Structure 1
Amino acid sequence: MDAHSLYLHIPFCQKRCAYCDFNTFAGLENTIPAYVNALCREMRLVAASLPYRLPVHTLFFGGGTPSLLSVEQVATILETAATVFDVSPRAEITLEANPGTVTRETLRGLRRLGVNRLSFGVQSAHPEELAILTRLHDYSDVIRSVQWAREAGFENLNLDLMFGLPGQTLERWQRTLELVLGLRPEHLSLYCLTIEKGTPFFRWSARGLLEIPDDDLAADMYEHAMDRLGEAGFIQYEISNWARPSGEGTWYSCRHNLQYWRGLPYLGMGAGAHGYAGGFRTANVKPVPHYIQRCQLGESQPFPRSPANDEFHPVSVQDEMAEMMMVGLRLTEEGISEEVFQHRFGKNLREVYRNILPALEQQGLIEWAGQNHDHLRLTRRGRLLGNRVFSAFL
Structure 2
Amino acid sequence: MNSEIALFVFIPFCKIKCTYCDFNAYANLARVMEPYADAVAQEISDCRLQIADLTAKSLYFGGGTPSLVPVAQIEKILRACESRFAFAPGIEITLEANPATADETKLRAYRALGINRLSIGVQSFDDATLRRLNRGHTVADAIEMFELARRAGFDNINLDFIFGLPLQTLADWRATLRRAIALAPEHLSLYALKVEEHTGLEHQIARGKYPKPDDDLAADMYELAEEMLDTAGYAQYEISNWTRSVGVGNWKLDVGRQSNIQLPTSNFQSRHNLTYWHNEPYLGFGAGAHSFFERARFWNVLSPVEYIEKITRGESAMADREEINRELEIAETMFLGLRLNEGIAFENFAQRFGEDARVRYAKEIEELKEMGLIEMSDARVWLTPRGRLLSNEVFWRFLP
State the TM-score, normalizing by the size of structure 2.
Answer: 0.93
CA distance in 2, matches of 1:158, 1:51: 30
CA distance in 2, matches of 1:161, 1:340: 32
The correspondence for 2:358, drawn from 350, 353, 356, is: 350
CA distance in 1, matches of 2:371, 2:355: 25
CA drift of 1:165 comes to 0.6
CA drift of 1:279 comes to 1.1
Question: In the alignment, is residue 318 of structure 1 matched against residue 327 of structure 2?
Answer: yes
1:269-348 pair list within 5 angstroms: 269-298=285-314, 307-332=316-341, 334-348=342-356
Maintained 8 Å contact 1:188/1:242: yes
Maintained 8 Å contact 2:3/2:54: no
- Change over 3 Å in CA distance of 1:85–1:53 after alignment to 2: farther
- Partner of 2:258 in structure 1? none
CA distance in 2, matches of 1:198, 1:383: 28
CA distance in 2, matches of 1:297, 1:278: 27
Which contiguous aligned blocks of 4+ residues in structure 1 show a shift greater than 4 angstroms? none
CA drift of 1:208 comes to 2.1
> What's the secondary structure of 1:25's corresponding residue?
coil
> What's the secondary structure of 1:159's corresponding residue?
strand
CA drift of 1:49 comes to 3.8
Structure 1 residue identity aligned to 2:353 = F
- Partner of 1:35 in structure 2? 36
CA distance in 1, matches of 2:386, 2:362: 21
Maintained 8 Å contact 1:281/1:315: yes
CA distance in 2, matches of 1:37, 1:22: 22
- Partner of 1:302 in structure 2? none
Cα deviation digits, residues 96-147 of structure 1 (max 9, x gap): 0001112010000000000000000000011110011110010111111111
> What's the secondary structure of 1:243's corresponding residue?
strand
Maintained 8 Å contact 1:271/1:287: yes
CA distance in 2, matches of 1:49, 1:14: 34
CA drift of 1:357 comes to 1.3
- Change over 3 Å in CA distance of 1:51–1:141 after alignment to 2: closer
Maintained 8 Å contact 2:97/2:119: yes
Maintained 8 Å contact 2:102/2:144: no
CA distance in 2, matches of 1:82, 1:206: 47
CA drift of 1:392 comes to 1.2
Question: In the alignment, is residue 386 of structure 1 matched against residue 391 of structure 2?
Answer: yes
- Partner of 2:369 in structure 1? 361
- Partner of 2:165 in structure 1? 165
- Change over 3 Å in CA distance of 1:135–1:77 after alignment to 2: same
Cα deviation digits, residues 250-290 of structure 1 (max 9, x gap): 31110000000001110011111111011110111100111
CA drift of 1:298 comes to 2.9
CA drift of 1:291 comes to 0.8
- Partner of 2:251 in structure 1? none
> What's the secondary structure of 1:12's corresponding residue?
coil
CA distance in 1, matches of 2:65, 2:177: 23
Identity %: 46
1:20-31 pair list within 5 angstroms: 20-31=21-32
CA drift of 1:54 comes to 2.9
CA drift of 1:238 comes to 0.3
CA drift of 1:50 comes to 3.1
Structure 2 gaps of 5+ residues are 249-263
Question: In the alignment, is residue 188 of structure 1 matched against residue 192 of structure 2?
Answer: no
1:1-394 pair list within 5 angstroms: 1-46=2-47, 48-50=48-50, 52=52, 54-247=54-247, 250-251=265-266, 252-298=268-314, 307-332=316-341, 334-369=342-377, 373-394=378-399
- Change over 3 Å in CA distance of 1:135–1:2 after alignment to 2: same
CA distance in 2, matches of 1:337, 1:67: 37
CA distance in 2, matches of 1:241, 1:51: 30
Maintained 8 Å contact 2:6/2:283: yes
Maintained 8 Å contact 2:61/2:94: yes
- Change over 3 Å in CA distance of 1:145–1:17 after alignment to 2: same
CA distance in 2, matches of 1:146, 1:358: 46
CA drift of 1:53 comes to 5.6
Structure 2 residue identity aligned to 1:391 = W
Q: How many residues align?
A: 382
CA distance in 2, matches of 1:359, 1:50: 42
